[in-house]
């Protein structure tokens, strides 16, 4: 693929695909990215591609696949090049991305990954590793020292498998070699994500060597970010589609929507690419943007995913097209946005209508089952925190109650059509063990309450909230999820 690009001469106009407007080999690697999934390749790698074309710099990316080596292998065979399929409502626009300079797999190339992380040329480590990979215990606000994977890394820090272990090992090497610090840029959907990764890294480092923790505090920046672009997992049909559009054979194309947003706290230790050239917005405080996105976009994604999956609706598009959920969605968005602080330049009503349109994009097929994954890690910031805040301010919580009950119904592991599925959640086995045999809402809630760290104590000691969840869950169990959603939607302000 790279040969083909060179022969066709980079930067020349192409009738079919947008091509990189720079010579990749002119730019060194300055970023190590952990988590080489579709989202990174649809988001940060694309911003970097544009920034390289417009402002240059040694900012290509060494991407690290944290689990399987398939993607890294496929990308290596293509010299890191891949096709982005930008899916609008009626047309697909292909674009070739050249910002990945190297693709590695942690399991196989650990030494190479560590030397990249320790290299003086590396000035940013960015991450899209999913919420659970930080091992952050939200209740204790610290690293989860009890987790077996964390314990294993603490016992053998030179062969790290977890993100905190890997980052600390890299910092140890930098400190030892007298190399300067860098910026760690978390791009996962967690509130205050810079602070979360800083906390787990410092907690891990303190156990190992407190001098190292001080060095990290003084030399490493952890800017927070809000990232957004709907990027369903890739499917085999994407390969033929990409090839038909570009004439190039790409084994790992990525499809995503056209919309993209990146809000970044501007506090980097040793520079950064000119991502603003690609539309990234730099601010002092990302919090209000994160809350808006996590609660409005991700929160309604989760609501639709749980209700939809249980009701047999396979995609977010089907949910939006459903008469009941399609009505509940805007009402939920309005209810949640009523609790958000004013944000200069942002009209929440416009943001909400844009979301409804994005979710309904006929070019995108985003599975409810994919979004339903890892609910124990997602529900707190998407549903529980806005619910807690609304209760404290005496504001309505109806659709948040519904989302909670729909999630609990999902945790039973069987659809209304009796199809069984795996929960795909790090707490899945404990959840299934706890609720086995429970059939009524109260016993289900009580059983879930016994799963360590699953239901936040403050919210679940709120009598009114728990009563409402129990009533809604009983209704779902008796009448079905969609009739219950209809009752909730009917009661809400539209
Ligand atoms: C989704 C997100 O899978 C999920 O949990 O809610 O991946 C969502 O598509 C992205 O955050 C959009 O930016």
**For 420-434, how does the pLDDT look when each residue is reduced to its tens digit (9 = 90+)?**
999 999 999 999 999
Give 370-383 pLDDT, tens digit per residue. 999 999 999 999 99
What DSSP element (H or E) covers 86?
strand 82-87
Number of domains in the chain: 2
Residues 475, 480, 481, 485: is their CA dihedral positive or negative?
negative
- Residue 238 and residue 104 in one domain: yes
Q: What is the mean pLDDT of residues 384-412?
A: 98
Q: Which of 253, 283, 313 is the last residue of a domain?
A: 283
pLDDT value of position 16: 64
Q: Could you report how far apart the first and last alpha carbons of the chain are, in Å?
A: 51
Q: How many Å lie between the centroid of ligand 1 and the Cα of residue 230?
A: 6
- Residue 341 and residue 277 in one domain: no
Residue 493 — pLDDT band, cuts 50, 70, 90? Answer: confident
Residue 210 — pLDDT band, cuts 50, 70, 90? Answer: confident
Longest pairwise C-alpha distance within the chain: 68
Q: Which of 259, 283, 307 is the last residue of a domain?
A: 283
Residue 327 — pLDDT band, cuts 50, 70, 90? Answer: very high
pLDDT value of position 494: 72
Give 452-482 pLDDT, tens digit per residue. 999 999 999 999 999 999 999 999 999 999 9
Res 249 pLDDT > 50: yes
- Residue 248 and residue 320 in one domain: no
Res 89 pLDDT > 70: yes
Looking up residue 481, the CATH number of its domain turns out to be: 1.10.1040.10
Nearest to 162 by CA among 457, 426, 373: 426
CA dist 481 and 313 (Å) reads 11
pLDDT value of position 7: 41
Res 236 pLDDT > 90: yes
Q: How many Å lie between the centroid of ligand 1 and the Cα of residue 121?
A: 32
- Residue 102 and residue 218 in one domain: yes
Find out whether 36 and 45 touch, Cβ atoms under 8 Å: no
Which protein residue has the closest C-alpha to ligand 1 atom 11? 228
In eight-state DSSP terms, residue 234 is P
Q: What is the mean pLDDT of residues 81-109?
A: 96
Q: How many Å lie between the centroid of ligand 1 and the Cα of residue 232?
A: 8
Residue 8 — pLDDT band, cuts 50, 70, 90? Answer: very low
Give 55-87 pLDDT, tens digit per residue. 999 999 999 999 889 999 999 999 999 999 999
Q: Which of 252, 283, 314 is the last residue of a domain?
A: 283
Res 90 pLDDT > 80: yes
* pTM metric for this prediction: 0.95
**Buried b or exposed e, range 50-60, using 16+ CB within 10 angstroms:** bbbbeeeebbb
Res 391 pLDDT > 50: yes
Res 47 pLDDT > 50: yes
Which protein residue has the closest C-alpha to ligand 1 atom 6? 298
Residue 9 — pLDDT band, cuts 50, 70, 90? Answer: very low
- Residue 273 and residue 329 in one domain: no
SS3 call for 10: coil
Give 123-140 pLDDT, tens digit per residue. 999 999 999 999 999 889
Looking up residue 58, the CATH number of its domain turns out to be: 3.40.50.720
Find out whether 376 and 137 touch, Cβ atoms under 8 Å: no
- Whether ligand 1 lies within 6 angstroms of the CB of 189 is answered as yes
- Residue 46 and residue 85 in one domain: yes
Which protein residue has the closest C-alpha to ligand 1 atom 8? 230
Which protein residue has the closest C-alpha to ligand 1 atom 10? 230
Q: What is the mean pLDDT of residues 337-356?
A: 96
- Whether ligand 1 lies within 6 angstroms of the CB of 229 is answered as yes
Which protein residue has the closest C-alpha to ligand 1 atom 3? 371
Give 269-303 pLDDT, tens digit per residue. 999 999 999 999 999 999 999 999 999 999 999 99
- Residue 291 and residue 277 in one domain: no
pLDDT value of position 460: 98
Domain that holds residue 469: 287-492
pLDDT value of position 11: 34
pLDDT value of position 17: 82
Which protein residue has the closest C-alpha to ligand 1 atom 5? 371
The backbone torsions φ and ψ at residue 338, rounded to the nearest 5 degrees and listed phi first, read -60, -25
Q: Which of 228, 230, 329, 410 to mutate to test the pocket of ligand 1 (most atoms within 8 A of CB)?
A: 230
Q: How many Å lie between the centroid of ligand 1 and the Cα of residue 89?
A: 19
Percent of the chain with pLDDT over 70: 97
pLDDT value of position 492: 87
Q: Which residues contact 53 (CB under 8 A, 6 or more apart)?
A: 20, 21, 22
- Residue 277 and residue 297 in one domain: no
Atom of ligand 1 nearest to the CA of 374: 5
- Residue 272 and residue 293 in one domain: no
Q: How many Å lie between the centroid of ligand 1 and the Cα of residue 478?
A: 30
> 85 forms bridges with which residues in the sheet?
94, 255
- Residue 343 and residue 402 in one domain: yes
Strands (DSSP E) found in 164-260: 183-186, 225-228, 254-257
Residue 208 — pLDDT band, cuts 50, 70, 90? Answer: confident
- Residue 350 and residue 462 in one domain: yes
- Residue 278 and residue 312 in one domain: no
Residue 14 — pLDDT band, cuts 50, 70, 90? Answer: very low
pLDDT value of position 333: 98
Q: Which of 228, 289, 301 to mutate to test the pocket of ligand 1 (most atoms within 8 A of CB)?
A: 301
Count CA within 13 A, CB hemisphere, residue 362: 4
pLDDT value of position 199: 98
SS3 call for 88: coil
């Amino acid at each position: 693929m790279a040969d083909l690009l060179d022969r066709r001469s980079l930067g020349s106009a192409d009738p079919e695909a947008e091509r990189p407007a720079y010579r990749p080999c002119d730019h060194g690697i300055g970023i190590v990215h952990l988590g080489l999934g579709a989202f990174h390749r649809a988001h940060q790698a694309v911003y970097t591609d544009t920034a390289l074309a417009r402002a240059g710099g040694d900012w290509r990316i060494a991407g690290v696949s944290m689990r399987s080596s398939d993607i890294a292998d496929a990308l290596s065979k293509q010299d890191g090049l891949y096709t982005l399929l930008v899916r609008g409502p009626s047309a697909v626009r292909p674009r070739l991305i050249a910002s990945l300079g190297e693709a590695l797999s942690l399991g196989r190339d650990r030494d190479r990954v560590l030397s990249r992380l320790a290299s003086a040329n590396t000035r940013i480590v960015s991450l899209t590793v999913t919420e659970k990979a930080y091992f952050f215990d939200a209740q204790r606000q610290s690293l989860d020292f009890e987790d077996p994977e964390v314990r294993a890394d603490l016992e053998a820090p030179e062969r790290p498998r977890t993100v905190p272990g890997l980052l600390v090992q890299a910092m140890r090497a930098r400190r030892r070699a007298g190399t300067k610090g860098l910026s760690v840029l978390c791009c996962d959907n967690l509130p205050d994500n810079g602070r979360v990764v800083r906390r787990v890294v410092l907690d891990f480092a303190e156990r190992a060597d407190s001098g190292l923790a001080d060095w990290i505090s003084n030399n490493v920046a952890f800017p927070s970010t809000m990232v957004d672009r709907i990027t369903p997992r890739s499917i085999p049909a994407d390969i033929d589609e990409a090839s038909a559009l570009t004439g190039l054979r790409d084994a790992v194309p990525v499809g995503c929507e056209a919309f993209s947003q990146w809000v970044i706290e501007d506090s980097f230790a040793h520079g950064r690419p000119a991502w603003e050239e690609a539309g990234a917005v730099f601010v002092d405080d990302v919090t209000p943007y994160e809350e808006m996105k996590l609660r409005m976009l991700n929160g309604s994604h989760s609501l639709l995913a749980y209700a939809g999956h249980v009701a047999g609706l396979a995609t977010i598009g089907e949910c939006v097209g459903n008469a009941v959920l399609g009505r509940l969605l805007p009402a939920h968005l309005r209810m949640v946005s009523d609790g958000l602080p004013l944000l200069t330049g942002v009209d929440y009503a416009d943001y909400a209508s844009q979301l409804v349109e994005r979710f309904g994009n006929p070019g995108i097929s985003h599975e409810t089952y994919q979004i339903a994954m890892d609910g124990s890690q997602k529900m707190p910031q998407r549903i529980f925190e806005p619910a807690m805040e609304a209760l404290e301010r005496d504001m309505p919580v109806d659709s948040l109650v519904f989302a909670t009950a729909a999630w609990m119904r999902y945790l039973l592991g069987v659809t209304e059509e009796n199809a069984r599925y795996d929960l795909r959640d790090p707490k899945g086995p404990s959840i299934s063990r706890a609720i086995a045999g429970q059939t009524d809402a109260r016993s289900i809630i009580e059983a879930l309450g016994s799963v360590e760290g699953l239901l936040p104590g403050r919210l679940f000691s709120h009598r009114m909230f728990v009563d409402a969840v129990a009533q809604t869950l009983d209704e779902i169990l008796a009448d079905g999820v969609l009739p219950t959603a209809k009752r909730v939607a009917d009661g809400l302000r539209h």
